[in-house]
Amino acid sequence: MSDSFRAVLISEDEGGQRVEVADVPVDRLPAGDVTVAVECSTLNYKDALALTGSGKIVRSFPMVPGIDFAGTVTESSSPDYAPGDRVVLNGWGVGERHWGGLAERARVSADWLVPLESAFTPQQAMSIGTAGYTAMLCVMALERHGVTPDSGEVLVTGASGGVGSIAVAVLAKLGYTVVAVTGRPEEEEYLTGLGASRILPRSDFEGPGRPLAKEQWAGAVDVAGGHVLANVCASTRYRGTVAACGLAAGMDLPATVAPFILRGVTLAGIDSVMCPQEDRREAWRRLAQDLDPAVLEPMTEAIFLDECASTAEKLLAGRVRGRVIVPIAGD
């Protein structure tokens, strides 16, 4: 193994934040009991905020961004993993407080890793990534609260993005009737190809709405927050469930208690960062079972390490469809 590795490095000085692809000595890797040769990482919304400095994502500098990765263990002092094991990591503050996956090497705690399902290559696992793993957590929450394919239509907001794309594909494969919400009407063919039965414009959900609207959705997966989430809750059917996992439209929730106390609607919060190990493994097991890998290629764009910063700008501007993976050729 080389004594250095390439990595996207975010640093900060009196002039502000700087992003570069640099050769980093291996001895600068942070503490951890497992070292991984990263084979593929991704560019997520949170990574884009970190790279552009648009959000206070990075907690210490310098930082290697990348909230997830897949690769092969090269060194381990943990009894749970041995050199040669293929693994996946999602969350745990990686790319925020601990160096992340946009690099040829990563050193992390064994407790943060899960085995890579044999159904997926590292590239496919990252085409799913934290977004797809979060989408599956949302699907599991709907199931846990009794939403079945026979319950009625299930709404997915932000359907053209990473979470939404995987949610649409998984729900459709499981037999749900999926209604996709997007701000990009040109993506209709893409979304129907994933299994959406019909498409609604995001503008239908963006403005202030009534405390209670017409009952429509047996369940929903929401990545937006803000007025979008409030309107989704207001139009969810009696005893329906909304799984909320994002804040692309804002952190506020300008809603009333009416849907929750008059219709018994459940608002299920989905946290993918600190999610318990048991739920993580179940989510990846379910992805291997309930997601057709064939849907991944058309929703995935591959970029190089040195394209991460420019692609981050596009992602925040809403000009990226589906998933962005970063294949990494480590030595």
Query: Is 264 a residue whose pLDDT tops 70?
Result: yes
User: DSSP code of 178?
Assistant: E
The CA-atom distances, in angstroms, between 55 and each of 17, 143, 198 are 12, 33, 34
Range with the lowest mean pLDDT among 113-117, 278-282, 312-316?
312-316
Residue 279 CB neighbour total at 10 angstroms? 15
Work out the average pLDDT over 56-66.
91
| Residues carrying CATH 3.40.50.720, the chain | 130-269
Helices and strands: H and E segment counts in the chain: 9, 15
Which CATH fold topology does 130-269 show?
Rossmann fold (3.40.50)
Which pair of tokens denotes residue 168? Answer: 């649409």
Q: Provide the pLDDT for residue 134.
A: 96
Q: Provide the pLDDT for residue 1.
A: 57
Superfamily of domain 4-116+296-327: Medium-chain alcohol dehydrogenases, catalytic domain (3.90.180.10)
How many whole angstroms separate alpha carbon 169 and alpha carbon 184?
18
Residue 57 CB neighbour total at 10 angstroms? 21
Hunting for tokens 């199931």 — which residue is that? Answer: 143
Residue 68 CB neighbour total at 10 angstroms? 29
Pick from 21, 20, 97: which is nearest to 56 by CA?
Answer: 97
**Contact at 8 Å (CB) between 223 and 157?**
yes
Q: CA geometry: angle at 103 spanning 93 and 126, to 5°?
A: 70
Question: What distance separates the 2 farthest-apart alpha carbons in the chain?
Answer: 63
Query: Is 262 a residue whose pLDDT tops 50?
Result: yes
What are the tens digits of pLDDT across the range 7-34?
999 998 887 889 999 999 999 999 999 9
Which pair of tokens denotes residue 308? Answer: 């991460």
**Contact at 8 Å (CB) between 130 and 62?**
no
Residue 331 CB neighbour total at 10 angstroms? 10
| Residues carrying CATH 3.90.180.10, the chain | 4-116+296-327
Work out the average pLDDT over 256-263.
97
Work out the average pLDDT over 265-286.
96
Range with the lowest mean pLDDT among 55-59, 93-97, 235-239?
55-59
Range with the lowest mean pLDDT among 10-19, 77-86, 166-175, 189-198?
10-19
User: DSSP code of 157?
Assistant: S
The sign of the CA dihedral 270, 208, 158, 97 is negative
Q: Provide the pLDDT for residue 218.
A: 98
How many whole angstroms separate alpha carbon 13 and alpha carbon 331?
31
Torsional class of 127: left (φ above 0), alpha (ψ -120 to 50), beta (otherwise)? alpha
Work out the average pLDDT over 218-244.
97
Task: Tell me phi and psi for residue 24, to 5 degrees.
Answer: -115, 130
| Predicted TM-score of the model (pTM) | 0.90
How many whole angstroms separate alpha carbon 304 and alpha carbon 169?
27
What are the tens digits of pLDDT across the range 291-322?
998 889 888 999 999 999 999 999 988 888 78
Q: Provide the pLDDT for residue 331.
A: 42
How many whole angstroms separate alpha carbon 118 and alpha carbon 51?
32
